[in-house]
Structure 1
Amino acid sequence: MILTCPNCETQYFADESTIGESGRTVKCAACDHSWFVGPEGQAEGEKGPIAGAHEAYREKVRQRRLRASRSAAVMAWLIVGSLFGATLAGGIVFRDRVVEAWPQSAATFKAIGLDVNRFGLEFLETEAERYFDGTTPILEITGQVENTSGRERRAPFVRVLLLDENGAMIGESFAPITPGQIPAGRTASFSTRVENPPFEAFELELQFATEDEASGGPQSVADAGTSDDELQAGVDD
């Protein structure tokens, strides 16, 4: 027969002959609890108040362990959520550096309404002037940029987009920025001449561009055309 300790639920195999016809008292080797076992293997008072109290106690222990397990799981999720939230917040706060290291991420930030300035520069005064060099019409664009990133930046190129009255691009030009290294808080200048600009050019849009983009190399998915590094201006006739 199988004997089960009513105190700790440890089970034992016992020969019925060792119990006898009148039953006997047995002792649990695990917890030292003693109880009387009848000839049929049933503990005396198994269904009585003492056994009921033991069962209630064991149920409380099980419930306590269940609550502790749930609390641990909730705490683990809270910790994971906090770490994820901190990582996400860090990515948002330092998104300019994230985009600088991983340009493709700019599209993601832009999709959720966050502007990104991966170059750390802003346009200041910009002028566009039309004139003739002999008989050749010229469009000259000059301006300044400021390093607002708080650290020295390598100067990118300025991409000048020529737009018609509907905002469609009908031409472009690239201008280098000098000096090539811009200290934090300092300004730099750029200038470009467009010969024979389209007569329909009604508006200019200025963007920052990498050297690869300026030389016609593969352009990044993260276009510089975000509100932090883009400027539109009219074209003087």
Structure 2
Amino acid sequence: MLITCHNCETIFQIDKSKIAQKGQQVKCSVCAHVWTIFPDNEEETNTPKLNLNRNEDLSTEATTQKLQGPKHRQDILEKNKKSNFLAFLIWLFIICMVLVLGIFALITYRATVTAYYPKLSTFFELAGININYSSESLAIQNLQTDWKDDILRVRGDIFNNGSMRVHTLPVKITVIDPSGLLLSTHEIWPDSITIDASEHVPFFAQITIDADEKAEIQVDFLSYKSK
């Protein structure tokens, strides 16, 4: 059975069969408090007094039973500390996993992330991670070309037919002679570096070139990635 020291509240385990029916004195191994216990666990409230003239030591009396297997409050506190430390490690592991997954997603979808937060592009540049811009959801619309003497004007819109904001791309303008000879190529950027879903941004170029007005003009996106 379990008994508790009235003085320090330390819990002990004792063999009930070894306790005499008339009661037995026990001594706390922690604070040296002495009291009487009974088999029915009705402990005596009065603490016996020692006869100092006889140099009496209750811990050596034959009627005093040695307590085995004390369960100190310190043990309970130690278990609580271990449990709290384990919980801390679990939470630390969860937080680390969330951070790792967040960084992985940030790197994987960096083109989309930097379209919404362009300032993060600097972070990837410092880390040496390139950002590849895709033209998959972009289209050139409302393309117009006209000549005036030796000046070629090209204007149009870049349309985002995707569901998320994306980076715009530079537009490549190629002028080819009717005979198939490549006359010139030009690269221009639209008016905005990003474009929202289902929106468009305009672009315009004015090129001075000595060419026949019948020359073929090709307008396409130029592949681009950050350095």
* TM-score when normalising by structure 2: 0.41
Please say which structure displays the higher CA radius of gyration. Answer: 2
